[in-house]
């Protein structure tokens, strides 16, 4: 769904404790979060009317804000209740949710300790990040130009708005070349993640994935690792270099938006979705459904 389509809907959003029409959920032009990226957010999905791992997402939202040196003025329970209310009031069952918190417009300079902290929650129907056809064939990945930053230079484990600037640029460049997404390296040249999803590889019946250092340890990523271990699949979290890509037989990406999506190509490297990829995709689809 495009932003234009969203704006035309008569949905309501939760904005600082009140439900208001989406068209009225406006912020001042001189908002600190807009000018200085002092904003954090979450991406979540509801399946059958139940938000998958809602508490984990709300806890991470608050932790991300703390990494940006502000405190969201709502408890985890209050945030969870607000998300459920947004689903209910919009009549949504299977939906995507976007909580976002940011510094307000009281002061526009770099220093903004006294700016009010706002929280808004929106929800809409948004299918998988990739089309059904892409998921069946496996998506094609380009290599990103930009690298994920050193944790000593940015709060790289927070889900912070500013960290996604290079992701948008990299994804646009990949799409212009005919790819679905881009694979990013970190400041050391190690393979880490795509622009909005974590990545996994299969080698000799084992699941390999970059160790979560300097990038977001996704909730979907953690879920898939749990599912693999339940299946008795060995999970190896380790440094992965670009030259290692030719040694893997399968690959897939994970994320709330992407869910579990097979990869068929990374640059010159080719992969075929096999038994492990298909099994974990199926297991994840089952795991997210309400009991």
- The alpha carbon torsion through 10, 13, 16, 18 (nearest 10 deg) reads 60
* Active-site hit among 8, 63, 137, 159: 159
Among 45, 44, 88, 39, which residue's Cα sits nearest to residue 65?
39
CA distance 199 to 208: 9
CA distance 226 to 235: 9
Q: Write phi, then psi, for 195 (nearest 5 degrees).
A: -70, -20
Residue 244 token pair: 């290692």
**278: annotated active-site residue:** no
Helix (H, G, I), strand (E, B) or coil at 78: helix
Catalytic residues, by residue number, are 159
């Amino acid at each position: 769904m495009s932003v234009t389509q969203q704006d035309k809907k008569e949905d309501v959003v939760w904005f600082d404790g009140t439900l208001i029409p989406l068209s009225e959920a406006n912020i001042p032009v001189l908002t600190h979060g807009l000018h200085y990226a002092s904003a954090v957010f979450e991406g979540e999905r509801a399946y059958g009317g139940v938000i998958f791992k809602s508490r984990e997402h709300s806890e991470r939202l608050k932790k991300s804000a703390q990494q940006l040196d502000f405190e969201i003025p709502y408890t985890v329970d209050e945030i969870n209740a607000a998300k459920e209310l947004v689903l209910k009031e919009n009549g949504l069952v299977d939906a995507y949710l976007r909580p976002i918190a940011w510094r307000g417009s009281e002061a526009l300079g770099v220093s903004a300790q006294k700016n009010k902290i706002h929280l808004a929650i929106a929800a809409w129907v948004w299918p998988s990040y990739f089309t059904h056809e892409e998921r069946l064939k496996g998506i094609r990945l380009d290599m990103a130009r930009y690298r994920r930053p050193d944790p000593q230079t940015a709060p790289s484990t927070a889900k912070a708005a500013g960290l996604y600037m290079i992701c948008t640029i990299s994804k646009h460049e990949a799409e212009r070349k005919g790819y679905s997404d881009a694979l990013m390296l970190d400041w050391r040249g190690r393979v880490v993640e795509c622009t909005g999803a974590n990545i996994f590889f299969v080698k000799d019946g084992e699941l390999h994935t970059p160790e979560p250092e300097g990038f977001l340890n996704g909730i979907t990523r953690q879920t898939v690792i749990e599912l693999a271990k339940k299946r008795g699949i060995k999970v190896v979290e380790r440094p992965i270099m670009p030259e290692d890509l030719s040694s893997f037989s399968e690959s897939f990406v994970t994320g709330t938006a992407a869910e579990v999506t097979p990869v068929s190509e990374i640059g010159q490297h080719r992969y075929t979705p096999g038994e492990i990829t298909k099994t974990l995709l199926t297991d994840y689809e089952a795991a997210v459904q309400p009991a």
